[in-house]
């Protein structure tokens, strides 16, 4: 929307977060910002990313949409870069239907942020008695949530420990029940680096190939389980290709994982016996030697 051109780099094979060893080669004199996406609520390698940003005089905007309440080396995701973005979309851990928050971790940007969210006016300064009338001073839009949405979200945040504990126990149950299948080489489970305290945003498995995934989805569906894959890569999506100058860059790991990844059901109401049932169906399918 601001005319910036994203430069995509490949993911690291363990967490599928941005491969921080590939960042520097992608920096040009026109680079302004690094945008680490904390996939599945597992932190990117932020120490390295912040160090690169400092050496190249770049800003860091963390996409912590999936990372609310998760940590990297004890710091909350979204609080490490110059900016952090949270999502409260219905698909996230804490929700208000639609909505989100920007964390501004650098004082330099506070004043302008207030103006942008107040439709480009200095109304916030007016309310604080700092100016005697408010006026149009910058770009902006209606970015504030309404009170109904804020009230809903507030209740979610009051329950955030309970929600997190429940999600983590679902995640852990999957992780333990699926360990034998990983040992047999039938799937790969998520990898959580020691530096990261994840938030159980999702539980995914990596399968051998696209064909296995397609068949497993059908098998689970026949057993009453909705399991979905995601996301289609952006670098070779129509708009991505256009922004990359008409030709998609080659990001082999991103492309491979996009074909192999399957999300298993993971939501607050999911009962332990449901998790057991899902795992049994996955096992039934994978151990019949497909
Ligand atoms: C959900 C999500 C977004 C978008 O969040 P919205 O609140 O819908 O704007 C962005 N990035 C990631 C990684 C997400 O998971």
Mind listing the pLDDT tens digit for each residue in 236-280?
Answer: 999 999 998 999 999 999 999 999 999 999 999 999 999 999 999
Q: Whose CA is nearest to atom 1 of ligand 1?
A: 65
The pLDDT, as a whole number, for residue 53 is: 98
Q: Whose CA is nearest to atom 3 of ligand 1?
A: 65
pLDDT tens-digit profile of 125-147?
Answer: 988 999 999 999 999 999 989 99
Confirm if 78 and 68 have CB atoms less than 8 A apart.
yes
Beta strand segments in 33-127, E: 33-34, 59-63, 71-72, 75-76, 83-87, 100-104
> Ligand 1 centroid vs 86 CA: distance in angstroms?
8
Mutation test of ligand 1: which of 11, 18, 43, 89 has the most ligand atoms closer than 8 Å to its C-beta? 89
The mean pLDDT value for 1-9 works out to 92
Mutation test of ligand 1: which of 18, 42, 66, 90 has the most ligand atoms closer than 8 Å to its C-beta? 66
The residue whose two tokens read 């995701």 is: 77
At 2, is the pLDDT very low, low, confident or very high (cuts 50, 70, 90)?
A: confident
Task: Report the predicted TM-score, pTM, of the whole model to 2 decimal places.
Answer: 0.95
Radius of gyration of the chain (CA): 21
The pLDDT, as a whole number, for residue 289 is: 64
* Dihedral (CA of 105, 109, 110, 114) sign: negative
Distant-in-sequence, close-in-space partners of 261: CB < 8 Å, separation ≥ 6: 16, 204, 205, 206, 207, 213, 229, 230
Residue 131, token pair as written in the block: 């100016």
């Amino acid at each position: 929307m601001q005319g910036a051109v994203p430069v995509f780099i490949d993911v690291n094979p363990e967490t599928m977060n941005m491969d921080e060893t590939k960042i520097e080669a992608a920096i040009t004199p026109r680079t302004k910002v690094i945008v680490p996406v904390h996939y599945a609520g597992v932190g990117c390698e932020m120490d390295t990313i912040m160090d690169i940003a400092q050496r190249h005089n770049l800003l860091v905007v963390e996409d912590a949409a999936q990372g609310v309440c998760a940590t990297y080396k004890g710091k909350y995701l979204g609080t490490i870069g110059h900016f952090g973005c949270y999502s409260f979309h219905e698909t996230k851990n804490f929700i208000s239907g639609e909505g989100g928050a920007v964390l501004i971790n650098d004082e330099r940007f506070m004043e302008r942020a207030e103006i942008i969210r107040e439709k480009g006016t200095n109304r916030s300064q007016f309310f604080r008695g700092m100016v005697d009338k408010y006026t149009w001073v910058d770009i902006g839009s209606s970015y504030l949530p309404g009170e109904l949405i804020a009230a809903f979200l507030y209740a979610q945040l009051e329950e955030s420990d309970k929600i997190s504990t429940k999600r983590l126990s679902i995640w852990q149950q999957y992780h333990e029940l699926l360990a034998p299948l990983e040992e047999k080489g039938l799937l790969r489970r998520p990898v959580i680096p020691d530096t990261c305290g994840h938030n159980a945003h999702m539980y995914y498995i990596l399968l051998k190939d696209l064909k296995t995934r397609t068949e497993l989805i059908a098998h689970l569906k026949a057993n009453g389980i909705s399991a979905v894959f995601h996301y289609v890569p952006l670098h070779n999506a129509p708009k991505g290709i256009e922004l990359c100058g008409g030709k998609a860059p080659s990001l082999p790991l991103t492309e491979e994982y996009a074909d192999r990844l399957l999300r298993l059901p993971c939501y607050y109401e999911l009962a332990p016996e449901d998790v057991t049932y899902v795992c049994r169906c996955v096992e039934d399918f994978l151990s019949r030697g497909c």
